[in-house]
Amino acid sequence: MTGHHLCIIVGANRGFGREIALTYASTITTKKNVKLSLVLIGRNREQLRSTAQSIENDSVHVSTVANFDLGNIDNLDENIGAVSSAIEELIKSNTFSKSILINNAGTLGDLSVTVKDYNWKEAKRHLDVNVTSFVALCSMFLKLIPVSSTNQRVIVNISSLYATQPCAYWGTYCMTKAARDQLIGVIALEEEGNNTKTLNYAPGPLDNEMQALVRNTIGDDDQREKLREGFEKGQLVNMSDSAKKLVNLILSDSYESGSHVDFYDI
């Protein structure tokens, strides 16, 4: 493997997004003749900086874009503008062989109630964070990175089993993940022949803060019991194991464009 990769990660300050950044960087560092420019996006400036500091070395350069609240639709154009400027700076001074956008950021929505008791304003906020901003980021990436036979474009959606399977109490989560998966499938069709690939990657039930929040807030007694049992028996997936599978998929190019790949499938 040779060349220079550009990798933009949304929601890179903590959790799985941070783990993807660490894994991508450490994988590139072990290879000869490959460089990586990472653009880490999130809300928390300090967390982004600390991630950047733990990653940077001779082969890996990191830029950060902070204060990007995906739910703040009034500021979405401004925030997308800040990300575009950071990417444009990098494009001006580098020639990339692979450019990747990883849409990782995500929220659960209210898992304590069923659809009958939804507050539509909260549901809309959930859609804004997980779908509206996702659309804006995908469009930005496709416009900003020119089609080129020497620079492969890749868009990754961090998906979930619940994109493909409905589950009670997970209404807006299932809905937003399914919507994202479909957009990724559409982009695969629209950009076919443009040296562009897309991927929905379901990382498995991760042993992290989001799973702890699920265990503590899910309104369904049976699910809560099963989730607690799984956690206590150590059945959750290590974030680093899942990030390694995703980075290997991206680097080996061993997936069908527009497909949904689950941690347990590979």
Q: Please select the residue that binds ligand NAP; options are 11, 109, 171, 258, rule is CB under 6 A.
A: 11
Contact between 6 and 100 (Cβ < 8 Å): yes
In the complex, least distance from residue 99 CB atom to ligand NAP, rounded to whole angstroms: 21
Q: With binding defined as CB under 6 A, does residue 70 bind ligand NAP?
A: yes
Q: Which of residues 185-224 bind ligand NAP (CB under 6 A)?
A: 202-203, 205-206, 208-211
In the complex, least distance from residue 212 CB atom to ligand NAP, rounded to whole angstroms: 9
Q: Is 251 exposed, middle or buried (0-12, 13-18, 19+ CB in 10 A)?
A: middle
Q: With binding defined as CB under 6 A, does residue 129 bind ligand NAP?
A: yes
Please identify, using beta-carbon distances, which residue of 11 and 258 lies nearer to ligand NAP: 11
Please identify, using beta-carbon distances, which residue of 69 and 241 lies nearer to ligand NAP: 69
Both tokens of residue 101? 């956008």
Q: With binding defined as CB under 6 A, does residue 258 bind ligand NAP?
A: no
Please identify, using beta-carbon distances, which residue of 142 and 206 lies nearer to ligand NAP: 206
In the complex, least distance from residue 156 CB atom to ligand NAP, rounded to whole angstroms: 11
Please identify, using beta-carbon distances, which residue of 34 and 183 lies nearer to ligand NAP: 183
Q: Which of residues 98-127 bind ligand NAP (CB under 6 A)?
A: 104-107
Q: With binding defined as CB under 6 A, does residue 169 bind ligand NAP?
A: no
d(CA 86, CA 80): 10
Place of tokens 């939804």: 118
Residue 120 neighbours by CB distance under 10 Å: 7
Query: What are the CB-based long-range contacts (under 8 Å, 24+) for 254-259?
Result: 255/197, 255/199, 257/188, 257/192, 257/196, 257/197, 257/198, 257/199, 258/184, 258/185, 258/187, 258/188, 258/189, 258/198, 258/199, 259/199, 259/200
* Dihedral sign, Cα of residue 256, residue 188, residue 77, residue 202: negative
Place of tokens 């300090």: 46
Q: Please select the residue that binds ligand NAP; options are 131, 158, 184, 218, rule is CB under 6 A.
A: 158
Contact between 110 and 122 (Cβ < 8 Å): yes
In the complex, least distance from residue 50 CB atom to ligand NAP, rounded to whole angstroms: 12
Please identify, using beta-carbon distances, which residue of 148 and 211 lies nearer to ligand NAP: 211
> How much is the CA Rg of the chain, to the nearest whole Å?
18
Contact residues for 188 (Cβ-Cβ < 8 A; gap 6+): 196, 197, 198, 257, 258
In the complex, least distance from residue 240 CB atom to ligand NAP, rounded to whole angstroms: 12
Q: Please select the residue that binds ligand NAP; options are 3, 15, 185, 219, rule is CB under 6 A.
A: 15
Q: Which of residues 34-53 bind ligand NAP (CB under 6 A)?
A: 42-44
- Kindly determine how many residues on this chain lie close enough to bind ligand NAP according to the rule CB under 6 A: 28
Provide the binding-site residues for ligand NAP, judged by CB under 6 A: 11, 13-17, 42-44, 68-71, 104-107, 129, 158, 160, 202-203, 205-206, 208-211
